[in-house]
Structure 1
Amino acid sequence: MMKWMPWLVLALSACSSSTQTTMYQLPAGTPVSQRAPGINNPLPIWIERVSVPDYLAGNGVVYQTSDVKYVIATSNLWASPLDQQLQQTLVTNLSNALPGRLISAAPLGEQHDTLNVNVTGFHGRFDGQVVISGSWTLEHSGQITRQNFNLTLPQQENGYDSMVRTLAQGWQQEAERMATAFSAIRNN
Structure 2
Amino acid sequence: MELLKQKIREVGVVLSDEVIKLDAILNHAVDPALTTAMGQEFAKLFREEGVTKIVTIESSGIPIAFAAAQELNVPLVFARRKKTLNTDTETYCERVPSFTKGMVTDIMVSKEFLNETDRVVLIDDFIANGDAARGLIRIIRRSGATLLGVGIAVEKSFQAGGRTIRESGVRVESLVKISSLANGQIQFE
The question of a shared fold, defined as TM-score above 0.5 by the shorter chain, is answered with no
- Structure number, greater radius of gyration: 1
Q: TM-score, normalised by structure 2?
A: 0.29
Greater relative contact order (Cα 8 A, min sep 6): structure 1 or 2?
1
Q: TM-score, normalised by structure 1?
A: 0.29
